[in-house]
Amino acid sequence: MKNPKVGLAILALVLGAVVIGGLAGWQIRQQNVAGVSQAQDAGSASEGKDILRATYDPIHFRPAIEKATDEQCLACHREVLDDKVRETSPAGIKAANSKAWYQRMSTYTGEQDTFHRRHLTTPMAKELMNLSCTTCHQGSDPRDEAPGTSATGTPQSDNGFTLRKTVNPETTCLKCHGQMNATVMGLPSPWPESKEMFGNSCVTCHAAIRTNRHQVTYLKADAIEAAGQANGDVCYGCHGGRAWYRIEYPYPRHPWEGMSPDVPDWAKNRPVESEARFVLPAGGQSKK
């Protein structure tokens, strides 16, 4: 740089940009703090702006969590939906080249994505399901992440979450990630072996058996039937094809037309209605 005046002018410009940039960043941080306190005012009676108060915000506990909307949770937890997985791991492995077995099913589409986004925002999630934060989250206890360990904490009788977890897997995940009950269905062998016999279609039988299904707030019953007709893997996906457990979920046994009045032994302890908190208001399925 030959001309010292030009050099100085550039230096001044750079310094100016740094100061303005810093100020803008500071303002954004101030706004974020204000955002948290606004969410608190809207969602609960607590006041204050510190992280500890937000951690113990009553919205995390019953009864407030039962009525909470996704918008209220997302006011503080935007990252749950915004974060994306790394394209490449720190060791250099590409996400696109390391698909797990359940990501090789015919229903899996798109790039690898986070757990929350796969249940809430990906095309399949939106087409078939209607999950909210509170479908899975019914409470947590930041103190020691266990129910019933202090007089003021969540009591042991509350089954909204279990030890060291912020959900109750048995009453949430197992519904869509349990084993397929091939014995009850009278299938000659596990589905991957017997499916050819039925044209890879669940509805060959289920057009007439257990027809009263999926009438719950967190599922889109009509869309599931349409997709399941076209591709049996859609049904199997939630009923054994993505099983994280060695057990089956004990589904409620809704009466259906043409059902035999004799209740088989295995079904004697089964409820005949969906869990109360998910039952649809009379007269129709959920829309969202």
Q: Look at the chain and count its residues.
A: 288
Chain positions 165 to 204 lying near ligand HEC, rule: CB under 6 A, are: 165-167, 169, 172-173, 175-177, 181, 184-187, 191, 198, 202-204
Per the listing, tokens 């394209």 go with 87
Helix spans in the chain (H): 4-43, 51-55, 64-67, 70-77, 79-82, 115-120, 123-128, 133-136, 173-177, 191-194, 203-206, 221-230, 232-236
The token pair that represents 32 in the structure block: 């974020």
Per the listing, tokens 């269905």 go with 185
Angle at Cα 168 formed by Cα 76 and Cα 41, nearest 5°? Answer: 25
Chain positions 2 to 31 lying near ligand HEC, rule: CB under 6 A, are: none
Span interacting with ligand HEC, options 1-9, 15-23, 32-40, 88-96, rule CB under 6 A = 32-40
Chain positions 104 to 163 lying near ligand HEC, rule: CB under 6 A, are: 107-108, 115-116, 118-120, 122, 124, 128-129, 131, 133-137, 140
The token pair that represents 85 in the structure block: 């997985």
Span interacting with ligand HEC, options 4-12, 17-25, 59-67, 151-159, rule CB under 6 A = 59-67
HSE-up of residue 261 (Cα within 13 Å, Cβ side): 0
Q: Between 26 and 245, whose beta carbon lies closer to ligand HEC? A: 245
Q: Between 26 and 256, whose beta carbon lies closer to ligand HEC? A: 256
Q: Between 3 and 97, whose beta carbon lies closer to ligand HEC? A: 97
Chain positions 219 to 278 lying near ligand HEC, rule: CB under 6 A, are: 219, 224-225, 228, 232, 234-239, 242, 248, 251-254, 264, 267, 274-275
Residue 228 three-state SS: helix
Provide, rounded to whole angstroms, the least separation between the CB of residue 87 and ligand HEC: 14
